[in-house]
A and B are shown apart, each in its own frame.
Chain A
Amino acid sequence: TAGITQAPTSQILAAGRSMTLRCTQDMRHNAMYWYRQDLGLGLRLIHYSNTAGTTGKGEVPDGYSVSRANTDDFPLTLASAVPSQTSVYFCASSAGDGSGGYNFGSGTRLTVV
């Protein structure tokens, strides 16, 4: 089934530890995005990539890093997790030309304790 796969589905992480959230798409979309979603705040863009080899900062990039070594994969890394990074993280992709909107992964629920 075509789409976006995120892993893990959920995770409890000790503060100060690092973690990488994985995201893989098989639609050959140029653009990929990482969002966090917190109650009452909606979706906030963390980082994005318009094409393989390039990345950019979104609205809330601090404490997060990304890489885009190829078209399919767009991992998000938390170098040293803090409790304020407790959230639901969604990866999304789009063709990048305005058509078709965004396709979302099923999300990763992260709790930092």
Chain B
Amino acid sequence: GQNIDQPTEMTATEGAIVQINCTYQTSGFNGLFWYQQHAGEAPTFLSYNVLDGLEEKGRFSSFLSRSKGYSYLLLKELQMKDSASYLCAVMDSNYQLIWGAGTKLIIKP
């Protein structure tokens, strides 16, 4: 079967760094996506990895290891507005996204 695992909830302090991990087992791989979802809103695109390595975009970075079925999202210089759920999703061989349940990130002052 297909499976995406990520922690249910994490807590971090404003100004700090947090790493959200995601492991996956899917039928085929056409890329891994991270989305941010604020409470009551739609998910919005954050990052896309299809090759191994680190992709950096401002305060956010995403890493992929295809051989390990592993990714992480790194958030630096945390701000209160980063409090949200972070969804990991893998695009399978049919170009459909398989979604993790999401990690709720709580930022404390």
Contact = CB atoms under 8 A, between A and B. Distances in A.
Contacts of A42: 87, 99-102
B38 to A, nearest CB: 12
Interface residues of B, number: 21
Range, interface on chain A: 20 to 34
A64 interface: no
Contacts of A102: 33, 43, 45, 97
A41 B101 contact: yes
Given A40-B101, A98-B31, A101-B35, 6 more contacts: A42-B99, A43-B99, A97-B95, A98-B91, A101-B89, A103-B45
Report the 6 A-B pairs with minimum CB-CB distance, sorted nearest first.
A42-B101, A104-B42, A43-B99, A98-B30, A101-B33, A101-B45
18 contacts: A40-B8, A40-B101, A41-B101, A42-B100, A42-B101, A42-B102, A43-B87, A43-B99, A48-B96, A90-B43, A98-B91, A101-B33, A101-B35, A102-B33, A102-B43, A102-B45, A102-B97, A105-B42
Interface of A: 31, 40-45, 48, 90, 94, 96-98, 100-107
